[in-house]
Amino acid sequence: MFLHDPVEHPISAAEAVKAVREYAGLRTQGGSAYGVSFDSRTGKNQLCRFEAGELESILPAEFSVRSRVHEYGGGAWCLSSHNAFFVNDSDQQIWCASLSGGFARQLTSMHRSRFADLTFDSVRQRLIAICETHTQGQPEPENRLVSVGSDGRVRVLAEGADFYASPALSPDGSELAWVEWDHPNQPWLSTRVCAASLSDLGYPKEKRVVSDVERAWVQPRFSPDGVLHAVVDRDDWWSIESFNGEAFTPLSGDKPADTEFASAPWQFGLSSYGWDENGALWAIGQHRGYSNLYRHDGIRWQRLCLDLKASRLHSLALADGEICCVAEFSNRQPMVLRISGTPDTYAVNGYALHGGEFPDYPVTNPEPCGAPLPDGSRVPYFLYRGVSAGVAPSPTIIFIHGGPTASTAPILKSAIQFWTQRGYMVADVNYRGSTGYGRSYRMMLAGRWGESDVEDVESVAHDLIYRGLADPGAMFIRGNSAGGYTALSALANSSLFTAGASLYGVSEPSRLNDVTHKFESRYLSWLIGDPVADSTRYLERSPLHNAHRISSPVIFFQGEEDKVVLPEQTREMATRLREQGVPVETHYFSDEGHGFRSPVNQISVLELELAFYSRWISQ
């Protein structure tokens, strides 16, 4: 089969990488919006002010705002009245910079320690944060809830749990709430909300567990009148509840059905709800992959109609009469959005503070689809047809997100457009275990990683072939991290796929328990089973053990500094396939960890992957 370019001048890999826009961690203050902007040219996270279409960095160029707590970070900065406090990527210490820009000074100097989830305590003029300390000789780092004074001194507020997250202060500074959990849980499985009154010096007087059911509690925060709220998946869907002093109860009124008001907290600092100056609660809810904006006036829920048709909303920030969030679209660049209007009419307007440009090339919009499973349920996925509409069947790539407990959204991704412009069709799959479809859907992967996810991507491939859309002789599969494991497992389980790509993917899960980082060190016990009691199951689901069943060519991409999936796994998997005569390409990047940030390296991945697939299409 000869694959031509349907677009006369398709976007290059360099253009696709340069087009990446990411905004996160929004805060509002004094009529201005601030947040983190990923600079695709340098691979750094800039701390910026967004105003009237302008983006202004408030930090010197040598800084990059990024936390590495739990390796995935997040919550790497916060505001005071005149300053920004941030975690600097290169040293993982907290720095302070004036909002007017210019000079930044180092606040903490703790050897082998990292910080995240920064929160400013205006009453005591200090920070509250999560501190992760790596002590030489200790099997795991220690995580604590700490305060950081203006002199940089770090004091422990809570310790003893394996993990801490989401510190929240009451408006008068008298109460502190947070989330904590222990091994073997992940924060989307089971956590607890804790609270404590604070002494005049800011120390917790007596910690109490206020969560009343064993579920995944996330994002505790206090309303303007001091009532503690949190998001919990008590009834299968992450919903906002308020604490009455004895227990949490749902907000009044009929809550939106099948809607999630949170996402899996792989990172710190997620924000999906808050209060406006009138005391009304605003929230972002996800329904079948798409975001909606809601308002609760104390009596009932309202779904608001936003004039801009965004596919995904996140990073909600409310303060000083401002309401801002990040909006992502299926056909334009993401936007830092200011929201205004009259909610009483169920309609609000969105004004771009920055971003929102339309690409100067044809865009393929995602189509929500579902592939049937034998039990009658369906696997949700988003289909991006090749630009050569009407030319079928098409060469197809199955994209597998790097969860397992994450999700993919129907938003503009220049990397996907890179493929569709060349006539490839892309199916972006939210396999069982993905977030956004309720707790029961997340839990379907329990003990079945390497089975349910593989069944799901195979169902999507069969669905596309059955519908006459996909060329069965040009069906590719690719995944990063956990998605790489699913891709390799699918290649070992099926002859559906012409070739595959693994980007820093897991190839030997049994070793992950011994070498991966603390945050995920017990995750496999939930995904597969007990490493000792269920050792046979680990062997049966190991791509390395099943390498003899793989006959399709594979291309590997791996960072040499990866602390989540060690490079040795990829090397051994590639060697095993080569010994069997399977065509293999390997590409290692000395300056990359788990996930590629260098623009040069991202460009290389796209170009090398394209050349690899093209080679097998032509045969």
Which residues are within 8 A (CB) of 577 and not within 5 positions of it... i.e. 6 or more apart?
547, 550, 554, 584
Tell me which DSSP letter residue 198 carries. Answer: B
Cα angle value 33/311/281 (rounded, 5°): 55
For helices 452-466 and 482-493, angle between their N-to-C axes, nearest 10 degrees:
70
* Whole-angstrom distance, CA of residue 397 vs CA of residue 419: 9
Cβ(418)–Cβ(454) below 8 Å? no
Segment 173-224, tens digit of pLDDT: 999 999 999 999 999 999 999 999 999 999 999 899 999 999 999 999 999 9
In whole angstroms, what separates CA 243 from the centre of its chain? 28
What six digits make up the tokens of 610?
């394209």
Give which of 305, 285, 317, 278 is closest to 50, Cα–Cα: 317
**Looking only at Cα atoms, what is the longest distance across the chain?**
74
Task: Supply the pLDDT for residue 469.
Answer: 95
Q: Which residue has the tokens 């493929």?
A: 419
Task: Supply the pLDDT for residue 418.
Answer: 96
Cα dihedral 290→413→25→524 (10° resolution): 80
Segment 495-543, tens digit of pLDDT: 999 999 999 999 999 888 777 889 999 999 999 999 999 999 999 999 9
* Whole-angstrom distance, CA of residue 389 vs CA of residue 370: 20
Which residues are within 8 A (CB) of 422 and not within 5 positions of it... i.e. 6 or more apart?
3, 5, 6, 7, 10, 386, 610
Q: Which residue has the tokens 């509409």?
A: 389
* Whole-angstrom distance, CA of residue 377 vs CA of residue 370: 9
Residue 566 clears pLDDT 50, i.e. is over it: yes
Cα dihedral 47→178→316→344 (10° resolution): -150
Model confidence at 5, pLDDT cuts 50, 70, 90, reads low
Give which of 462, 476, 398, 464 is closest to 431, Cα–Cα: 398
Cα dihedral 475→329→35→16 (10° resolution): 40
Task: Supply the pLDDT for residue 101.
Answer: 75
* Whole-angstrom distance, CA of residue 52 vs CA of residue 415: 29
Residue 349 clears pLDDT 60, i.e. is over it: yes
Task: Supply the pLDDT for residue 517.
Answer: 86
Cβ(370)–Cβ(380) below 8 Å? yes
Average pLDDT over residues 264-277: 96
Pairing of strands 312-319, 301-306: unpaired
Segment 82-129, tens digit of pLDDT: 999 999 999 999 999 999 877 899 999 999 999 999 999 999 999 999
Q: What percent of the chain has pLDDT over 70?
A: 98
Task: Supply the pLDDT for residue 3.
Answer: 47
What six digits make up the tokens of 512?
């992950």
* Whole-angstrom distance, CA of residue 474 vs CA of residue 619: 10
Model confidence at 2, pLDDT cuts 50, 70, 90, reads very low
What six digits make up the tokens of 121?
């305590």
Cα dihedral 124→127→129→133 (10° resolution): -110
Residue 54 clears pLDDT 90, i.e. is over it: no
For the chain, the residue count is 619
Cα dihedral 33→36→39→44 (10° resolution): 150
Task: Supply the pLDDT for residue 261.
Answer: 98
Residue 4 clears pLDDT 70, i.e. is over it: no
Burial grade of 187 (CB within 10 A; 0-12, 13-18, 19 or more):
buried
Average pLDDT of the chain, as a whole number: 94
What six digits make up the tokens of 226?
């001091």
Give which of 83, 87, 82, 43 is closest to 69, Cα–Cα: 87
Pairing of strands 77-79, 54-57: unpaired
Residue 387 clears pLDDT 90, i.e. is over it: no
Residue 382 clears pLDDT 80, i.e. is over it: yes
- Out of 38-42, 236-240, 269-273, pick the least confident: 38-42
Give which of 381, 408, 402, 444 is closest to 236, Cα–Cα: 444
Segment 429-488, tens digit of pLDDT: 999 999 999 999 999 999 999 999 999 999 999 999 999 999 999 999 999 999 999 999
Task: Supply the pLDDT for residue 359.
Answer: 92
Cα angle value 93/99/202 (rounded, 5°): 55
Q: For 546-570, b where at least 16 C-beta lie within 10 A, e where not — what string?
A: bbeebebbbbbbbbeebebbbbebb
Model confidence at 564, pLDDT cuts 50, 70, 90, reads confident
Task: Supply the pLDDT for residue 390.
Answer: 58
* Whole-angstrom distance, CA of residue 164 vs CA of residue 146: 10
3 state DSSP class of 130: strand
Extract the runs of DSSP E, i.e. beta strands, from 489-532.
Answer: 499-503
Cα dihedral 388→392→394→399 (10° resolution): 90
**Own/partner long-range contacts of 47-50 (Cβ < 8 Å, ≥24 apart):** 47/77, 47/84, 47/86, 47/97, 48/354, 49/99, 50/336, 50/353, 50/354
Which residues are within 8 A (CB) of 567 and not within 5 positions of it... i.e. 6 or more apart?
558, 559, 560, 588
For residue 239, what are the CA distances in angstroms to 219, 231, 444, 573? 11, 5, 20, 42
Model confidence at 372, pLDDT cuts 50, 70, 90, reads very high
Segment 125-160, tens digit of pLDDT: 999 999 999 999 898 999 999 999 999 999 999 999
What six digits make up the tokens of 459?
């169902």
Q: What is the set of domains in the chain, with CATH numbers?
A: 367-506+553-617 (3.40.50.1820)
3 state DSSP class of 413: coil
Cβ(175)–Cβ(196) below 8 Å? yes
Model confidence at 618, pLDDT cuts 50, 70, 90, reads low
* Whole-angstrom distance, CA of residue 520 vs CA of residue 447: 15
Task: Supply the pLDDT for residue 1.
Answer: 36
Task: Supply the pLDDT for residue 565.
Answer: 87
DSSP secondary structure of 212-240: -SSB-EEEEEE-TTS-EEEEE-TTSS-EE
Instruction: Read off the pTM.
Output: 0.93
